[in-house]
Chain A
Amino acid sequence: MRTTLGERLTDWSISGFMWGFRILIVLIVVLGTFFTLQSGKYTGEQWIDFIVFGISQGSIYALIALGYTMVYGILRMINFAHGEIFMSGAFSAYFLATWLNTVGFVDANPVLGLLIPILFAMLMSALIAMLVERVAYRPLRGAPRLVPLISAIGASFFLQYTFRGFFGPGVYAYPPIKALEGEWVIFGIGILRVQVIVAIAAALIMAILYIVVMRTKIGKAMRAVSEDKDTAALMGIDVNRIIVSTFAIGAAMAGAAGVLYALIYRQVNFFMGFTPGIKAFTSAVLGGIGNIPGAMLGGMVLGIFESVGPALFLDGLGIIRPYQLKDAIAYTMLVMILLFRPSGILGERLTSKKA
């Protein structure tokens, strides 16, 4: 095929820019890491702190990312209201947890005091997601792909401002659970209890989800529907019911994540879903959207990079408050994945049938 000189120049300048971008990022990472480690500014214990925090944060991203990835897998659509589903869960749990705390239930039964708000948040998030699916997505099932996306953004604003309208723009303090305060000392290194509990709880929930998806009838039906809706219907699978269940299960994960997030940051707010929502979306893309283990992996990778990255990559370059740039690291990762490996770490090739 003949191309004009102008076209070739454009190609060269684009690929030149891409290579420049890659080299720049690699340089920042390598040089930053080198100078940081050489300066010896952080102790081994601090690095472990960063990693543990990254794991607990990452497991929250992973939980939320599952909802994005499952809905994408089944409907090829990004549910941008998912961050608000997460917020709704955290908010619902806040009210229940506060009440349980005032009546003294949490101090008497720390395990149940933790578990009941999580289950309640899962339930509330699932109900809200089912409502959103029914009202904002299902009527648009056959519409061009941009349409449900816009509807999702609308649903997202609707939920945010509904919570704002009812509960105001203020920040509510999530009640402390005494049993989660303090540190555990493992091999002479102190680790915050709450972070360990969050990571374990998230891992348990994800393990249950994985078993549901791989082993149960409904999980297998979800996988079948995500491959081919018509054929799934020919098996007697009620496709709409499976889609609603997918929304509900994904939302329940997000609701649980909302409580875990509130346990770490000790606060809830109507806008709290926005950033974790986008981070979790990044995680889902990072791991390969539509891929369940990918979402789990992507969440962990993003959490750890975000936590370790500022100190490791940026501090050595003389940036004064590198931790302020952790979001920049997350979004740089999103851009890089989209540019260089759009299918994500574990992503499947998008066949024409699926795309």
Chain B
Amino acid sequence: MSILNINNVHTYYGNIHALKGITINVEKGEIVTLIGGNGAGKTTTLKTISGLLQPREGNVLYNGENLGKYKAHEIVYKGISMVPEGRGIFTSLTITENLEMGAYSRDDTQGIKDDMERVFTLFPRLKERRNQVAGTLSGGEQQMLATGRALMTRPSILLMDEPSMGLAPVLVELIFDTIQQINQQGTTILLVEQNAHMALSVAHRGYVLQTGEIITSDTADNLRNDPAVQKAYLGME
């Protein structure tokens, strides 16, 4: 059984038909990427999974359970965590407080402490600055914080929305290395990216989304060698 099934989901913003019946499966332990251009519906897909948007048709199954009846904050307790687009860190809270918010759904003080150490091991730069207000962090550090904060919920599956956005190439590499590390430690990852090149280099499988529809899906290697994908998303002729 897949950890996540998105079955024929239609999502609307008001009258705008943003997702037109998409179907995605994510198996436990995988990194699956969702690539596509601006306005393809990538963020909408993640928001529909995390409960910030409700599908009008179709459903999202998590370990076989329909998530439709849960609100966004309840879905977190199920083990789904999201790094939102633009990182969404709480700029007026300190780094430690941001991580504590990530652990809001948990009560095990010791476990929270251990996980915070784990995040600090993953991102030593955060540890140096842990008592600073998060608004003072650079873009790359904010991305580290947003990722660390999402890990604080101890998710089974991590949804990441454009982690490379606005980052220098060196930092993009670092973030993607971390994504692989997190995955190797046992967390399933659904990764949304415009940077298809990076995304396909770490992912096991990928889906290509275009104006609200899945136009193709395959293993990451096959997608990278697919001429149409190369032309449209990898900048190759």
Q: A220–B90 Cα gap in the complex (Å)?
A: 10
A45 interface residue per 8 A CB criterion: no
Closest chain B residue to A238, Cβ basis: B73
Q: How far is the CB of A279 from chain B (nearest CB, A)?
A: 28
- The answer on a CB contact under 8 Å between A220 and B97 is yes
B125 interface residue per 8 A CB criterion: no
Closest chain A residue to B149, Cβ basis: A235
B22-30, B80-88, B179-187, B213-221 - interface stretch:
B80-88
- The answer on a CB contact under 8 Å between A237 and B73 is yes
- Fill in one digit per residue for B73-102: 1 if any A CB lies within 8 Å of its CB, else 0: 110110001101000111111000100111
**Which 10 A/B pairs are nearest by Cβ-Cβ distance?**
A236-B105, A236-B76, A231-B88, A233-B72, A233-B73, A235-B101, A235-B104, A236-B104, A224-B90, A238-B73
Q: How far is the CB of A261 from chain B (nearest CB, A)?
A: 32
- The answer on a CB contact under 8 Å between A224 and B101 is yes
Could you list 26 examples of A-B contacts with CB < 8 Å?
A: A220-B93, A220-B97, A220-B100, A220-B101, A223-B92, A223-B93, A224-B93, A224-B101, A227-B93, A228-B88, A228-B90, A230-B52, A230-B72, A231-B84, A231-B90, A232-B101, A233-B51, A234-B72, A234-B88, A235-B76, A235-B101, A235-B102, A235-B104, A235-B105, A236-B77, A238-B71
- The answer on a CB contact under 8 Å between B71 and A233 is yes
- The answer on a CB contact under 8 Å between B97 and A236 is no
B50 interface residue per 8 A CB criterion: yes
- The answer on a CB contact under 8 Å between A234 and B50 is yes
Cβ–Cβ < 8 Å partners of B102 in chain A = 235
A321 interface residue per 8 A CB criterion: no
- The answer on a CB contact under 8 Å between A235 and B52 is no
Q: Which of A222-252 contact B (CB under 8 A)?
A: 223-224, 227-228, 230-239
Q: Which of B40-77 contact A (CB under 8 A)?
A: 50-52, 71-74, 76-77
A221 interface residue per 8 A CB criterion: yes
- The answer on a CB contact under 8 Å between B52 and A217 is no
- The answer on a CB contact under 8 Å between A217 and B104 is yes
Chain B: interface size category: 20 to 34
Cβ–Cβ < 8 Å partners of B73 in chain A = 233-239
Cβ–Cβ < 8 Å partners of A217 in chain B = 100, 104
B153 interface residue per 8 A CB criterion: yes
- Fill in one digit per residue for B149-171: 1 if any A CB lies within 8 Å of its CB, else 0: 10001000000000000000000
Give me the interface of B with A, judged by CB distance under 8 Å: 50-52, 71-74, 76-77, 81-82, 84, 88-93, 97, 100-102, 104-105, 149, 153
Q: How far is the CB of A345 from chain B (nearest CB, A)?
A: 18
Q: How far is the CB of B144 from chain A (nearest CB, A)?
A: 16
Specify the main secondary structure of chain A where it touches its partner: helix
Cβ–Cβ < 8 Å partners of B52 in chain A = 230, 233-234
Q: A346–B14 Cα gap in the complex (Å)?
A: 38
Q: How far is the CB of A353 from chain B (nearest CB, A)?
A: 10
Q: A236–B153 Cα gap in the complex (Å)?
A: 9
Closest chain B residue to A231, Cβ basis: B88
Contact partner, A234, options B82, B91, B92, B97, Cβ 8 Å: B82
Q: How far is the CB of B127 from chain A (nearest CB, A)?
A: 19
Q: How far is the CB of A234 from chain B (nearest CB, A)?
A: 5
Cβ–Cβ < 8 Å partners of B77 in chain A = 236
Closest chain A residue to B102, Cβ basis: A235
Q: A235-B76, A236-B73, A237-B104 are in contact. Are A230 and B84 (CB under 8 A)?
A: yes
Q: How far is the CB of B157 from chain A (nearest CB, A)?
A: 13
Q: How far is the CB of B147 from chain A (nearest CB, A)?
A: 13
Most buried by B among A233, A234, A237, A238: A234
Closest chain A residue to B107, Cβ basis: A217
Most buried by A among B74, B104, B105: B104
Closest chain A residue to B51, Cβ basis: A233
Cβ–Cβ < 8 Å partners of A228 in chain B = 88, 90
Q: How far is the CB of A218 from chain B (nearest CB, A)?
A: 10
Q: A238–B74 Cα gap in the complex (Å)?
A: 8
Beyond the given A227-B92, A234-B73, A234-B84, could you list 11 further A-B residue pairs with CB under 8 A, ordered by the A residue number? Answer: A220-B101, A223-B92, A223-B93, A224-B90, A227-B93, A230-B84, A233-B51, A233-B72, A234-B50, A234-B81, A235-B153
- The answer on a CB contact under 8 Å between B101 and A221 is yes
Cβ–Cβ < 8 Å partners of A223 in chain B = 90, 92-93, 97
Closest chain B residue to A215, Cβ basis: B97
Q: How far is the CB of B151 from chain A (nearest CB, A)?
A: 12
Q: A217-B104, A239-B73 are in contact. Are A230 and B88 (CB under 8 A)?
A: yes
Cβ–Cβ < 8 Å partners of A231 in chain B = 84, 88-90
Q: How far is the CB of A6 from chain B (nearest CB, A)?
A: 41
Q: A234–B91 Cα gap in the complex (Å)?
A: 16
Cβ–Cβ < 8 Å partners of B72 in chain A = 230, 233-234
Q: Which of A179-231 contact B (CB under 8 A)?
A: 217, 220-221, 223-224, 227-228, 230-231
Q: How far is the CB of A164 from chain B (nearest CB, A)?
A: 40
Most buried by A among B73, B93, B105, B153: B73
- The answer on a CB contact under 8 Å between B76 and A234 is yes
Cβ–Cβ < 8 Å partners of A236 in chain B = 73-74, 76-77, 104-105, 153
Q: How far is the CB of B87 from chain A (nearest CB, A)?
A: 9
Closest chain A residue to B152, Cβ basis: A235
